[in-house]
Amino acid sequence: MHHLYLKNLILPVLTMVLYACSSGDPNQSTDLSIENTTLEGSWELSKYINHPEGGTEWENYGPEITYQKHITPTHFTWIRYNKETDKLEGAGGGTYKYDGLVYTENIHFFHPPGTSLLGQAIPFDVNFEKGTWYHTGYTKELEFNSEIGELVIVDTTKIEEQWLKIEGISNGKEMVKTWNLVGHKFNPLDSEYAVYPDSVRYIKHLTSTHFTWIKYHNESEEGEVIELGSGRYEATDTNYKEFIEVMHPSASNQVNTEITFDKAISNNQWFHLGYILRVQYSDGVMHVLDSSLVDEVWE
């Protein structure tokens, strides 16, 4: 990706570097100014300053944009999704570190692909004021210098944002973590679980309110996002239900649908069994065309 294109793209896609998943009321927030010890949870972007375009004032997106960040105890992901066009406009994620003052994101995947941000560790200052998370840092644009044989910094972009915690039904701590897909079946007649090749990663982040799953190529394959889904969820001892609010690629007809799965967790493995519906809308009415089995094991 040419650096000029990247700078323009990174505007809000970068307005992050690394953000995250479903809709929530940004006016509902938790007072994090008191005894804040963690960034874990799901967040909605409230405001940002458009530094790449020379902005100096706080701005916000319209209601058609879902811009969220989801943080588990070990991983983060951010999502920018346009509800009107059904397009994933940006996404990124990976691991992170937080020492109470500085939050550092290690980028393992990114959408759109082709960015020099992949593989970077990007630190952000963290401040809380009246329930708002103020998130400030700089992303680096790198290019390979053939004369010295190294990547060099050719530009930086300031990121300045405000995030609000998304409230909702809080699910048990048993689910709140990042899960790795270790086996799947799409045919009930299969005798064994299949696995993806080493070049493909498939993870699911669960906060206490939201899920986000991402299927992506690893960093050697440019960290490209192949598929992604996100939304709210509810879990009991035996059932797990997803309320889908974001889906990539587009035109899946799954946004605003619900999926219920049988659930069992044993020895740190999550057995996940259900059916995804393929639907079609006619005159505003949803019609179920068929369904696909999802039989998965997460660890």
Nearest 5°: phi and psi at 88? -80, 110
Longest dimension (CA), the chain: 62
- pLDDT for 38-70, tens place per residue? 799 999 999 999 988 889 999 999 999 999 999
Is residue 171 one of the residues assigned to a domain?
Answer: no
Cα–Cα dist 202/117, whole Å: 20
Q: What is the pLDDT of residue 66?
A: 97
Answer yes or no: do 32 and 153 share one domain. yes
Same domain for 207 and 154: no
In-domain check, residue 161: yes
User: Domain check: are 9 and 156 in the same one?
Assistant: yes
pTM above 0.75, yes or no: yes
Contact 72, 56 (CB under 8 A): no
Tell me how many domains the chain contains.
2
User: What is the per-residue pLDDT for 275?
Assistant: 83
Per-residue model confidence (pLDDT) at position 284 = 64
Cβ neighbour number for residue 175 with a 10 Å cutoff: 19
Residue that is last in its domain, among 165, 189, 221: 165
For residue 15, the model assigns a pLDDT of: 39
Write down the pLDDT at residue 168: 85
Verify that 64 and 22 share a domain, yes or no. Answer: yes
Segments of the chain scoring below 50 in pLDDT: 1-35
* Backbone phi and psi for residue 280, each to the nearest 5 degrees, phi listed first: -145, 140
Residues 160 and 234 in one domain: no
The Cα–Cα gap between 263 and 40 comes to 24
> Could you tell me which of 111, 121, 112 has the C-alpha nearest to residue 142?
121
Domain final residue pick, 165, 192, 222: 165
The pLDDT tens digits for 101-146 are: 999 999 999 999 877 788 889 999 999 988 899 999 998 776 777 7
Residues 156 and 211 in one domain: no
Domain range for 270 is: 177-298
How many residues are there in the chain? 299
The verdict on 110 and 240 lying in the same domain is no
Query: Could you tell me if residue 170 is inside a domain?
Result: no
Q: Which of 144, 165, 186 delimits the end of a domain?
A: 165
